[in-house]
Amino acid sequence: IHTYIHTYIHTYIQWGKKVVSQPSIAPPTVIMFPRQREMSSKVLRRQKRDWVIPPINVPENSRGPFPQMLVSIRSDQDRNISIRYSITGVGADQPPNEVFSIDPVAGKMFVTKPLDRERRSSYHLRAHAVNMNGERVESPIDLYIYVIDMNDNRPEFKNQVYNGSVDEGSKPGTFVMHLAAFDNDDNTTANGMVRYRILSQTPHSPIPNMFTINSETGDIVTVAAGLDREKVSQYSIIVQATDMEGNLNFGLSNTATAIISVTDINDNPPELTSRTFSGEVPENRVNVVVANLTVIDRDQPHSPNWNAVYRIISGDPIGHFTIITDQHTNDGMVTVVKPVDFEQNRAFMLTVVVNNQAPLASGIQSSLQSTSGVTISVVDINEPPYFPTNPKSIRFEEGVPAGTSLTTFSASDPDRFMQQSIRYSKLADPADWLSINNTNGQIITTATLDRESIYVKNNIYEATFLAVDNGSPMASGTGTLQIYLIDVNDNAPSLLPRESQICERINRNAGINITAADTDTDPNVGPFVFELPTFPASIRRNWTVSRLNGDYARLSLRTQYLEPGVYEVPVIVTDSGNPPLSNRSIIKVKVCPCDENGDCTLVGAVAAAGLGTGAIIAILICIIILLSMVLVFVLWMKRREKERQTKQLLIDPEDDVRDNILKYDEEGGGEEDQDYDLSQLQQPDSLEHIISKPPGVRRVDERPIIPESQYPIRPVVPHPGDIGDFINEGLRAADNDPTAPPYDSLLVFDYEGSGSTVGSVSSLNSSSTGDQDYDYLNDWGPRFKKLADMYGGGDDE
């Protein structure tokens, strides 16, 4: 049995003035399932399809009515059995669901809603045929549905405003900028083919059509010359994009604005506003603006085409002046960078040229007004005198006596055209060795010059002098005189150290190293000569000196043993000056017994100091006695402190006055109140007689010797509700405990006696009748001064 597939789909789309006619569709198309044939071996084998099923084309945005039938699907077995048809895939049983449906009995497939190609341009479905038992009777077939595009989308620009730029003076055909619009319709059809054109240009200067646009690419280029930023700095162009290949009758359109800025080029040279400028400057002044140059430039301000650069091309060979450009005004500020001298130049004639930071555009010539002359006048001022040689150095031998003329240290006045005089004075003379003539500057010594003075550094003595003219205002200058002092041999050498020690017995390595020192300099110092004097003879008999080098020598014992003690050993040292100078130096040498290491022992050092054995023992005994006294004093102080801490609370027995003095804590009582039993003041063995005693005076100021009361025991972790009970129980136990301190707080005086001769204090009153003299209160001392002021002497105010 052969399988026949008959399909016929014909769609026709006609556009006309945005009216879309529905495609004329032939009688319903029938799609047959392929048939399988049975082989002799009873094996089912799939038969190849005779025809390829073409796609189903459906126009988008169809107006219906819906559902709208697309095709009819059937199996040739439907003559024998009942068939049920179904479709699967995106748009059927997969999202978006129910876009397509099928009649399960008749096999007719429908579209249920309008399609949008911009959302989905095609669908892939599969058709199925099963019997009533759900068993497949045909193999699934593939259905491809394509959505036919319609012109339902306008071209869209990404931005509503585009910015571009072009240099002024550009030639025709110069690229300016690019615009692009996008159409969501199918760009393979006229629906998505966009074309561009310029609708308007603002302003119309110099002509209305300075630019054109490529209709297909959207590139904007210039079509005419004459762009001048100084006249028109910006153009605004309205660009229209239309689909349907630019067909204005059927296509959809949209617009955007292109802002074209005309960029500046250096086509205007800077021009100085005047042919000549002038200014003046005080002499010896720097960093002063002496003239201001103004310039005009029509290019864009604050750009390299506008910024001015000034140069001095003549009139200032040394470079006294420079021109700084003001960044805000573009003016040139002529500034002094090197001081000018009125006596050398009274005026300067400068030639100045101005240019831009950027070079001029091609074909632009410099202006004659870019060059001007600047006249700078120098103002004369009073300049201070100056010393031509400063500092001035001279050489003299030290020891020059007072009154010696050293040199003439004179200053010069730079103001040659002013008749002025100069006077001199001393500004700094640390040693006060010099004086200066106030009219001619002659330097004379007032004291002897000494090279070894603390004011001389590196053989040079410095003094500073002041020169003042009589101008208006007066000006002054300073000069330094340096005197190099040549050394003479005027200082004898000396020896170090002044004191030392040595062992009493001669030792091969024992000796005292001595050093010669001389405040003079070469050649008036070493090498030195060391020798011992011939008198007294014991010096050379006991001692010897040997030279180690030009500056050092060693003093050592000549005898095998020398008794310990302090010896004054004279040593004569002589320098190498011309003539040489000698000095007799005394070295105090302590001779002492030494240990095996050659070091003086302590006893030996003391003995060497001149103390005998008895004196040393006496000193040691005194030290021991002193230490013993200190120890006894410390022990006595500790014992006394301990007695104070253990003393009874009551006063000492010798100070006990309880038999005639009783301290009361409250007022009351009289002479008869002293009738009491002193036994009450003693500690009883028990409290039975006190507790059972009738009311009377009772005192307990020591802890009773009775068993202590039992206090409640606090639990380790008490309950919050038991805290109050615990506190109350402890309070009651403390109140009832006779052993609890304080022991002397209970003083009860319930009997004050009777028949007092003094009477009641309440019987005292103030009576206004009668006068009483209280002047005697003034004689009772300072304690009664207050009463005397209240009652004694004076009238009532």
Question: How is residue 605 written in tokens?
Answer: 């050092």
Buried b or exposed e, range 6-31, using 16+ CB within 10 angstroms: eeebeeeeeeeeeebeebebeeebeb
Tell me the three state secondary structure of residue 629.
helix
Strands 565-574 and 582-592: antiparallel
pTM for the structure as a whole? 0.45
Task: Tell me the C-alpha distance between 765 and 426, whole Å.
Answer: 96
Query: Rg (Cα) of the chain, in Å, rounded?
Result: 67
Q: Phi and psi (nearest 5°) for 331? A: -75, 155
Cα atoms in the Cβ-side hemisphere of radius 13 Å centred on 365: 3
Q: Mind spelling out the 3-state secondary structure of 163-179?
A: EEEEECCCCCCCEEEEC
DSSP 321-351: EEEEE-TTT--EEEEE-S---TTT-SEEEEE
pLDDT of residue 52: 60
Q: Which amino acid is at 166?
A: V
Task: Tell me the C-alpha distance between 510 and 323, whole Å.
Answer: 83
Task: Tell me the C-alpha distance between 357 and 309, whole Å.
Answer: 6
Q: Phi and psi (nearest 5°) for 637? A: -65, -40
Rounded to an integer, what is the distance from CA 326 to the centroid of its chain?
Answer: 35
pLDDT of residue 41: 38
pLDDT of residue 525: 81
Residue with tokens 């002024």: 168
DSSP 403-436: T-EEEE---B-S-TTS---EEEEEEE-TT--EEE
DSSP 260-291: EEEE--S-S--EES-SEEEEEEETT--S-EEE
Type and span of the H or E element at 75:
none
Q: Among 123, 127, 58, 115, which Cα is nearest to 91's?
A: 123
Q: Which amino acid is at 210?
A: M
pLDDT of residue 650: 45
Task: Tell me the C-alpha distance between 455 and 674, whole Å.
Answer: 95
Q: Among 353, 231, 364, which Cα is nearest to 305's?
A: 364
- CB atoms inside a 10 Å sphere around CB 530: 22
Looking at 499-656, which runs of residues are DSSP E strands?
A: 499-503, 512-517, 529-531, 543-547, 552-557, 565-574, 582-592
Q: Does a cis peptide bond (omega within 30 degrees of 0) precede residue 23?
A: no
Burial of 149 by CB count in 10 Å (0-12 exposed, 13-18 middle, 19+ buried)?
buried
Tell me the three state secondary structure of residue 111.
strand
Sequence-separated (6 or more) residues with CB below 8 Å from residue 294: 272, 273, 274, 329, 331, 332
Tell me the three state secondary structure of residue 363.
coil
Task: Tell me the C-alpha distance between 492 and 525, whole Å.
Answer: 9
In degrees, rounded to 5, the angle at the alpha carbon of residue 141 between the alpha carbons of residues 135 and 145 is 135
Tell me the three state secondary structure of residue 559.
coil
Sequence-separated (6 or more) residues with CB below 8 Å from residue 459: 451, 484, 485, 486, 487, 521
Sequence-separated (6 or more) residues with CB below 8 Å from residue 415: 343, 380, 382, 383, 469, 471
Question: How is residue 283 written in tokens?
Answer: 């002499």
Q: Among 565, 568, 544, which Cα is nearest to 554's?
A: 544
Question: How is residue 678 written in tokens?
Answer: 């002193």
Stretches in the chain below the pLDDT threshold 70: 1-29, 34-52, 417, 508-509, 602-613, 615, 646-722, 738-771, 792-797
Type and span of the H or E element at 787:
helix 785-791
Task: Tell me the C-alpha distance between 440 and 426, whole Å.
Answer: 13
Tell me the three state secondary structure of residue 496.
strand
Rounded to an integer, what is the distance from CA 455 to the centroid of its chain?
Answer: 47
Task: Tell me the C-alpha distance between 675 and 636, whole Å.
Answer: 44
pLDDT of residue 15: 31
pLDDT of residue 332: 94
Task: Tell me the C-alpha distance between 645 and 622, whole Å.
Answer: 35
DSSP assignment letter at 536: S
Task: Tell me the C-alpha distance between 553 and 563, whole Å.
Answer: 24
pLDDT tens profile 761-788: 554 555 445 567 777 777 787 778 888 7
Q: Phi and psi (nearest 5°) for 416? A: -70, -25
